[in-house]
Structure 1
């Protein structure tokens, strides 16, 4: 700001004066809710049930009903696992008894069929005496089927235990060679404490031919009884 002062010579002298600026303080307005940043709303999760529980929600955040639902689901899953393990063990045990065990029906059938194939008398009846065929051409199979291509047929057999605790196996199956067909009958027993069965009878019947015995302990025992008797009296 300039001031005019009269001088000695009659001239007006201008002097500048400094006036400090005035500061205007604005009163801060209270913040309104519209000016604050909005918080992101927490998404509401779906309630846990026995059907839709995936196990991703922490246990501590579950309600009492949701904890009961998860416990029920896990108990059900554990029951299914134990049931599957039990069924698998049962199937494996039955498969071992029926197929892989040395006393199974399949093992008894295979051993008896091999003995028939290797026996010279049986080979002559089924494959001929000219030796034009081998024992590999002799097939063994179970009960007849409507399909002539089927060879894995059910083998007729019966297991029983007598009063003395002796186990018996009765079985018959069929053999077929290039020359003839026949029926094989066998009877095996196993005494208490024994691991393997023993042959009592193993015979081949071909129509029109005399029976061929590969094992006949029952017949030998009967002959011994007859030889030990004379006039109805046993002589020792």
Structure 2
């Protein structure tokens, strides 16, 4: 019997219970933010939010909405705990990370409350595996508090195209300069490496650009090393650049 259809009286002890027919849907999302070992999990009636931070200056969030689960029950307004993301991903892909035609791994995720481990029960082709992952005291995460009313410029690009542009950056440069302008070149990525300055320009009417809203010219520089983690997410996301 698949996990998604099993019922147990012992489930009542958990403050969070989630079931999904395909565990790879969860692991695929979490891999996009896996650039540090630990993550903070926020569970609410809306689903799961998993946050990863690096040096209190880079933050990545993965949202796994309640509708993605076959069953999702939570007994508190919000549940928060810290977990080893590397171990969680290893458990989620214990039957293999690649898709097998006609075969899925069902997942049951349980959490009994503060100080308790996160329990995972996975089933594939009648084979059951259970994992218990120690949870930790959650750290306070940064609140970047982005406000849409204060956005001066905004561009929405196809993730595939931006991923390709990022792969061609001069990695000997310490910074990536991003320029948005209502006039040509509109959107420019610049690096300053050992071979000199390089620029990649994207016209606002390019097939790569889905939306371009720009009210004034603005140039910002970011450490290239801090932008590298975003490349993982580009393969499964639509990226919005807010300045």
- Asked if these proteins are the same fold (TM beyond 0.5), I'd say no
Greater relative CO (CA pairs within 8 A, separation 6+): 2
Q: Please state which structure has a larger fraction of its residues in strand.
A: 2
Q: Which has the larger radius of gyration?
A: 1
* TM-score (normalizing by structure 1): 0.20
